[in-house]
Amino acid sequence: MANNYGAPKTELGELGRVQDRITFLYLEHARLNRQDSAVTVTDQRGTVYIPAAMVSVLLLGPGVDITHRAMELIGDSGVSVVWVGEHGVRQYAHGRALGHSARFLEQQAKLVSNRRSRVMVARKMYQMRFPGEDVSELTMQQLRGKEGARVRRVYTEQSKRTGVTWEKREYKVDDFDSSTPINKALTAAHQALYGLSCSVIVALGASPGLGFVHTGHDLSFVYDFADLYKAQYSIPVAFQMTAKHGDNDIADWTRRGMRDAFADGKLLVQMVKDLKFLLDIDDGVTADTMHLWDDRQGLQKFGVQYHEFDSEDEQN
C-alpha cells in the first residue's frame, strides 16, 4: 500500500509572486473543491475554475462549503483565506499563507519591541500620507490629530465630488443594513482593503498582530497597513459606488469597484514595496533556511546530529 496521500505539494518556484496575482475574490453560497491546480467553485449557475497560484486572497462568505482537498491546494499555493460575514463586512478568521522565511517577522518584532524604532516606523507610515511635509519631529498625539484632520478633509472632498451627502462614519458590526448607503459602502470597501492587506502581510511572512500604531488586536498591523491606502482607494470607491448605485446591492457593487481599483492601481505591487520599506527589508532574495540559535556561537547548522559530537569535537 502506498504511504503517500493527496496530491504532490506545489514547489515555491512554481507559484506566482504576490505582486503578480489577482487581488481578491469574494465567494458565497457555493461549494469549493479541487481539480488539478485549480479551485473549482460550483453553485446553481455552474462551475468555474480558479488557478490557485494566481489568486492572492479568497473572501469566503455565508453558504460556502470547502473541501479538504481545496484547502490543501490553497495552503500550498500561498492563497490567504478570510472567512467573512454576509456582504463581506465581518472577519471571523483567516488562514496561514505562503511565507516560510522568518526575516520579515523577526525584523518586525525587533522594530516593534523598541520604543524608538517603533515610533520611527509609525512616523514612516504618517510620512507616506503627508509626502510634502516633514513629520519627523511630531509626537504620536500630534500625528493622530493631523491624520484625523486629513481623513475628515478626504470625506468632505469626496462628498463634494460625487454629490453624496456625508454626515459621519457609522458602523454597526451586527446590523449592516441599518447604516446609510455611504456607510455600507465604506464598510464593504474597507473590509476588502483589510483582506488584501492581510494577504500581503502574511504572504511575505510578517505578523498581522504586531502593529506600530494600532495595538492589542490580532489584526493590529493589518489596520496600520490598510490605513495607508484608504484615502486613495476605499473612500473614493465607496463614494463613487454610492453615487452611481444608491442602496441597490451597494456591498456587491463596492467590492467590484475595489477589485477594479486594486487592479488598475497595481496595488499589490505597491503594497509589497511599501511593506519592505516600512520594515527596512532589502530586496535581495533570501533562501528559507532553518538554523539553530546559540547565545554564544551565533547561528548553527540545522539537521546535524549534535549528540554524536563530544565536547572536544564541538570546540574543534
- Widest distance between CA atoms in the chain: 80
Give the Cα separation of 220 and 215 in Å (integer): 5
| Assigned C-alpha cell, 31 | 461549494
User: Does 227 appear as a known binding residue?
Assistant: yes
Q: How far apart are the first and last CA of the chain?
A: 47
Contacts of residue 204, defined as CB under 8 A and 6 or more positions apart, other chains included, come to 18, 98, 99, 104, 272, 275
CA distance 149 to 287: 44
Q: Flag whether 245 is marked binding.
A: no
User: Minimal CA–CA distance to 97: which of 55, 41, 126?
Assistant: 55
Residues 6+ apart with CB under 8 A from 162: 239, 240, 242, 243
**280-285: long-range contacts, CB 8 A cutoff, minimum separation 24:** 280/107, 280/111, 281/103, 281/104, 281/107
Q: Under 8 Å CB-to-CB from 60, ≥6 apart: which residues?
A: 27, 28, 32, 66, 81, 82, 83, 84
As a whole number of angstroms, the distance between CA 122 and CA 132 comes to 17
167 assigned binding-site residue: no
Binding residues for Mn(2+), as ranges, are: 147, 214, 227
